[in-house]
Amino acid sequence: MYCIVDIETTGGYASAGGITELSIFVHDGKKVIDQFTTLINPEKNIPAYITALTGISHAMVTSAPTFKEVAEKVFTLLSNRIFIAHSVNFDHSFIKVHLQQCGYNLQVKKLCTVRLSRKTFPTLPSYSLGNLCRNLNIPLQDRHRAEGDARATVLLFEKILSVNGQVYIDEMLKKNAGDQWLPQLLDKKVVSGLPSTAGVYYFHDTKGKIIYVGKAINIKKRVSSHFTHTDDGQRRQNFLRQIADVSFKECANELHALVLESTEIKRLWPKYNYSQKEPLQKFALYSYQDGLGYLRLAIDKKRKGMAGLCTFNLLNDGLVLIRNLVATYELHSKLCHLDRTPLIPEEYVALEPPPVYNAKVTAALADLATQLPTFAVMDSIKTSKEILCLLMEKGSFWGMGYISSAQKSAPLAILKNELQPFQDNNFIRNSLHAYAAAHPQKKVTFNC
């Protein structure tokens, strides 16, 4: 038994939208044996653009039943039957959420006539309901009204059955078939072809643009998990509707994937990645000698070609560090640019001689260097003779790549020639420190 369903709503996602009209056709695989159609009072505002699209106004639903009043009948009709709709996840999510709010737990298998049509009629230019009806000569009346669209979906379903579509239906209803839970635009062959290895995966929209980047220990399992959650919020629903393809890059281990993911998020700035979008390091600590021979410290914007002593995402982070150095080593605030007023001659006279003052600055920087170590994390790869190497230099992430076993004990300068430089950021830096602390046997320290 099948239930072919269509709804009209007040908005695009189930957790906050209301249902304004509902139509259910019960079908036995040969013909319609029952039907239920009703307007629904959503008990909330119907936006003007929805009224313009569907023709359903506030006046039309004022005397209509609320969903709660028809919930029992809807649940009875749908229970133990296969839920069919065009873009089924949309209709199913609304009805499931509204039934839950009324105390009913709907657990049914689903069939999407968009996916069925793609399999049954693979050469059509479009699989929207309107274009399918036009191309397959299916009458469609009262477009964007629940009964009209549901009746057209019934005729589409019957046409699919008439051309041996039952083979695809049986395949899609199998317990592990992805067609029941995958996004409408995503071919299940794409997901089934993903590797079960560590790596980074990319979700693309219909134009090929990357809209999300993620990392995984098992790419296939992690990608699939995105589509099996029960969150019906607007953000996730909009996200799922746009996923049309998945690509990936395999990595040696989880740490490799973590670093690559963070780098790719900052390179691509995907629409649906909300974390790790802090700016790259924009400031650095510099040291220079002034005309009177004093070593001076300054926090300034990172300059191309000038190596800073350490880098910061935020100016305030750098200022906090330099204030600590001033307090600990009794440095002069004006010689560290914390006080921007110029030094007057009398202040210079009161200063210690350059050799004495510079010795304090040198000691401060030496202490800072111990807090900004240079080390590499090296991890053997089970399927290769190569070694994954990730390098931290003076407290900042320098880069990563693969080296041979013979290069494991190479000097720092030679090692850097074998690695690809990467942008440093707090997330990668903290992750490398944490990994090195958890796996000290994989840490190689360099004296700089």
Q: Mind giving me the DSSP string for 18-38?
A: -EEEEEEEEE-SSSEEEEEEE
**Is residue 396 within a helix (H) or strand (E), and if so which, with residue range?**
strand 396-403
70 and 170 together in one domain: yes
Please, are residues 422 and 432 in contact by the beta-carbon 8 Å criterion?
Answer: no
Amino acid, res. 54: T
Residue 219 belongs to some domain of the structure: yes
DSSP conformational letter for 186: S
Least confident of 103-107, 180-184, 248-252: 180-184
CB atoms within 10 A of CB 238: 13
Q: Sign of the C-alpha dihedral, residues 157, 162, 168, 169?
A: positive
Please, are residues 191 and 201 in contact by the beta-carbon 8 Å criterion?
Answer: no
SS3 string, 322-333, reads HHHHHHHHCCCC
The domain boundary, picked from 115, 148, 180, lies at 180
- List the domain range (segments joined by +) for residue 147: 2-180
pLDDT tens digits, 267-300: 899 999 877 656 555 788 999 998 889 999 999 9
Supply φ then ψ for residue 350, to 5 degrees.
Answer: -75, -15
pTM, whole model, 2 decimals? Answer: 0.61
- What pLDDT score was predicted for residue 177? 61
- What pLDDT score was predicted for residue 385? 81
Instruction: Return the structure tokens found at 292.
Output: 């009177």
pLDDT of 230 higher than 60 = no
* Bridge partner residues of 283 (DSSP): 301, 312
pLDDT of 448 higher than 70 = no
307 and 361 together in one domain: yes
In the chain, how many domains are there? 4
pLDDT confidence bin for 149, thresholds 50/70/90: very high
Helices 88-101 and 67-78: angle between axes, nearest 10 degrees: 120
Q: Which has more confidence, 227 or 21?
A: 21
Q: What is the mean pLDDT of residues 186-193?
A: 88
Amino acid, res. 188: K
Residue 273 belongs to some domain of the structure: no
The domain boundary, picked from 127, 151, 180, lies at 180
Region of 97 (left: φ > 0; alpha: ψ -120 to 50; beta: rest) is alpha
pLDDT tens digits, 421-441: 988 887 888 889 889 989 999
- What pLDDT score was predicted for residue 236? 73
Strand segments, DSSP code E, in 66-175 are 82-85, 110-112
359 and 379 together in one domain: no
321 contacts: CB under 8 Å, gap ≥ 6: 285, 310, 312, 368
C-alpha angle 381/387/392, rounded to 5°?
125
Q: Which has more confidence, 210 or 89?
A: 210
* Residue whose token pair is 């190689």: 444
- What pLDDT score was predicted for residue 153? 97
pLDDT of 314 higher than 90 = no
55 and 110 together in one domain: yes
- What pLDDT score was predicted for residue 423? 83
Q: What CATH number does the domain containing 209 carry?
A: 3.40.1440.10
Measured between its terminal Cα atoms, the distance across the chain in Å is 74
Cα gap 7→9, rounded to integer Å: 6
pLDDT of 231 higher than 90 = no
Q: What is the mean pLDDT of the chain?
A: 89
* Residue whose token pair is 């000290």: 440
Query: 424-435 burial, b for 16+ CB within 10 Å, e for fewer?
Result: bbbbbbebbbeb
Residue 440 belongs to some domain of the structure: yes
pLDDT of 109 higher than 60 = yes
According to DSSP, the β-strands at 32-39 and 82-85 are: unpaired
197 and 260 together in one domain: yes
pLDDT of 154 higher than 90 = yes
Q: What is the mean pLDDT of residues 113-140?
A: 92
Radius of gyration of the chain (CA): 32
Residue 320 belongs to some domain of the structure: yes
- What pLDDT score was predicted for residue 302? 82
Cα gap 98→17, rounded to integer Å: 10
* Bridge partner residues of 402 (DSSP): 388
- What pLDDT score was predicted for residue 180? 65
Please, are residues 298 and 372 in contact by the beta-carbon 8 Å criterion?
Answer: no
pLDDT of 313 higher than 80 = no
